[in-house]
């Protein structure tokens, strides 16, 4: 069951990367990268449960925090540098 969930998360991550690369605007690309980061957190947690290693949840939480702070920084950057 969890193997099927991990495979489906990988497919969703591929779609998120496609959105990040082929989106028409900068904000759509940022949304794709943010979605990829969120699905990566889910994938790490699922792999941790699948392999029986609960320390992967700590790694997933740290990655989620880094993803959140990184997205705030990127959005602040484009808020002040994007053409009006």
Contact 62, 10 (CB under 8 A): no
Residues recorded for the chain: 84
pTM here is 0.87
Q: Rounded to whole angstroms, how far apart are CA atoms 84 and 73? A: 19
What domain range is 14 assigned to?
2-81
SS3 state of residue 77:
helix
Domain count of the fold of the chain: 1
pLDDT confidence of residue 84: 57
Please report, in tens digits, the pLDDT of each residue of the chain (84 residues total): 888 999 999 999 999 999 999 999 888 999 999 999 999 999 999 999 999 999 999 999 999 999 999 999 998 888 788 665
DSSP 30-74: HHHHHHHHHHHHHHHHHHHHHHT-THHHHHHHHHHHHHHHHHHHH
pLDDT confidence of residue 82: 62
Rg (CA), the chain: 15
pLDDT confidence of residue 4: 92
């Amino acid at each position: 069951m969890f193997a099927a969930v991990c495979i489906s998360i990988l497919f969703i991550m591929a779609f998120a990367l496609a959105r990040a690369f082929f989106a028409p605007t900068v904000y759509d690309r940022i949304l794709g990268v943010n979605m990829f980061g969120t699905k990566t957190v889910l994938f790490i947690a699922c792999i941790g449960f699948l392999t029986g290693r609960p320390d992967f949840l700590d790694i997933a939480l740290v990655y989620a925090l880094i993803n959140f702070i990184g997205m705030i920084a990127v959005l602040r950057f484009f808020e002040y540098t994007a053409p009006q």
